Structure 1
């Protein structure tokens, strides 16, 4: 599928084994994160009708391997501009220098061709993590994963998004009774870890729900969450049915969706 004059978005995979999100508007195609090998990314891009040569730029949220592992090789091979914070750049996770890196300053918006990008600071255990809001002048898509808590700063920036790719990583009871060692459980549940279903639901309750048209639960833990439980918890905060909440999974991500179409 090729993007029209509307903002389109798809996930190529979402979870601890690798993440990548593709956002397009006209001929502009932005890849957010790449936790996959170049070969695997090419396979996943082909599934949604794209190739690496079609990409305009790559943006990185933070340096954890499931988000950055394949970024260095990708931007070197295809000579792609790479947007990242200074903290992410100095993390040493790019496997060497890249041909064209561009500094992100959190809370300072910038344009990449037809898409406006707002990088938003989030609480996560990385050097200088950000998440992104992307817009076409009329609509805003919020990408919000890999954060341990919701802050007033985040609510202020995201509350008027029309679409939201939102982390619902774990259920606290399943996490507490799950297979992770105590130190990892503490990290996941901490203020710099990952959002629980209920934290995500509490955030949705603070959104401008009159504008919110699309919610995709993402970055679900395969060991500490349940898809139906996540959907039900998020749906309750929006007074809707669980099937209205879409899901992003590890293998398939989610199919193309659009704002303004």
Structure 2
């Protein structure tokens, strides 16, 4: 089982998970041209994808998903609320295979098991996901304003985590955003701050953790060094053991092993 990011941040998000010959893309907030270029960096092309899972309807996660899926005939999985709020993205004439899922119910695509879970965010019916090959778990959490006991339960025991570290609280408060946007980003339906992400991490069973990547960093209200330091302090590891999912490059393939 391995995974890689095409890019992570407010300008676009996409993550690829691979188990054997099954590959799923989580979100697609890039244009078709940009998605193709970013997939090529991972030695992938559209035919390699068994499906796209969409977490919620915001542009940076769903903006390119439906056109890409329609062009290359890739099935899509999403909640009913996300589907209802995504009509502006869906081509008028299409033969998309749209699979509506419950955010509490597991489903499988080929060799990949997907466990969605609901999260507090300012979208209609947002979810995040834990991916598994039956033995190993990859937990993904971005676009969440606060943590919940259910999130802690879902992310405990993962061998890999992609965890939102969107902003530093002081940088957000003194930064260039409008007061309304600061309230949204820092609110209970916004995005996780570094120390909140660290607090969540401290509550998890990390005994099997092999990889952790800080994701969805704000370009104006955070730095990779601050995000790394916050998570490393919890894990008791060197800062550079914590990876960064950045906007331009994402991150290259990471493999989850049994050892």
TM-score after normalising by structure 2: 0.97
SS of the residue aligned with 1:74?
helix
What is the rounded CA distance, in whole Å, between the counterparts of 1:24 and 1:168 in structure 2?
Answer: 24
Question: 2:57 aligns to what?
Answer: 63
CA contact (8 A) 2:163 2:215 kept: yes
Question: 2:68 aligns to what?
Answer: 74
**Is 1:260 aligned to residue 254 of structure 2?**
no
Question: 1:3 aligns to what?
Answer: none
Q: Shift of the alpha carbon at 1:210? A: 1.1
**Is 1:20 aligned to residue 14 of structure 2?**
yes
What is the rounded CA distance, in whole Å, between the counterparts of 1:71 and 1:247 in structure 2?
Answer: 23
SS of the residue aligned with 1:45?
helix
SS of the residue aligned with 1:205?
helix
Question: 2:128 aligns to what?
Answer: 131
- Structure 2 unaligned segments of length 5 or more: list them: none
Question: 1:238 aligns to what?
Answer: 235
What is the rounded CA distance, in whole Å, between the counterparts of 1:169 and 1:126 in structure 2?
Answer: 17
What is the rounded CA distance, in whole Å, between the counterparts of 1:98 and 1:37 in structure 2?
Answer: 19
SS of the residue aligned with 1:252?
coil
Q: Shift of the alpha carbon at 1:107? A: 1.3
Question: 2:109 aligns to what?
Answer: 112
Question: 1:143 aligns to what?
Answer: 140
Q: Shift of the alpha carbon at 1:238? A: 1.1
- Structure 1 unaligned segments of length 5 or more: list them: 1-6
Question: 1:31 aligns to what?
Answer: 25
Aligned length: 255
What is the rounded CA distance, in whole Å, between the counterparts of 1:87 and 1:98 in structure 2?
Answer: 20
TM-score after normalising by structure 1: 0.96
What is the rounded CA distance, in whole Å, between the counterparts of 1:115 and 1:139 in structure 2?
Answer: 11
CA contact (8 A) 1:75 1:98 kept: no
Question: 1:49 aligns to what?
Answer: 43
CA contact (8 A) 1:63 1:93 kept: no
Q: Shift of the alpha carbon at 1:88? A: 0.3
Question: 2:78 aligns to what?
Answer: 84
Q: Shift of the alpha carbon at 1:176? A: 0.2
Deviation per residue, 1:17-70 (Å, 9 max, x gap): 000000111110101100001111000000000001111000000000000110
SS of the residue aligned with 2:114?
strand
Deviation per residue, 1:95-120 (Å, 9 max, x gap): 33552000111111011000100001
Deviation per residue, 1:153-173 (Å, 9 max, x gap): 100111111110000000000
**Is 1:198 aligned to residue 192 of structure 2?**
no
CA contact (8 A) 2:158 2:206 kept: no
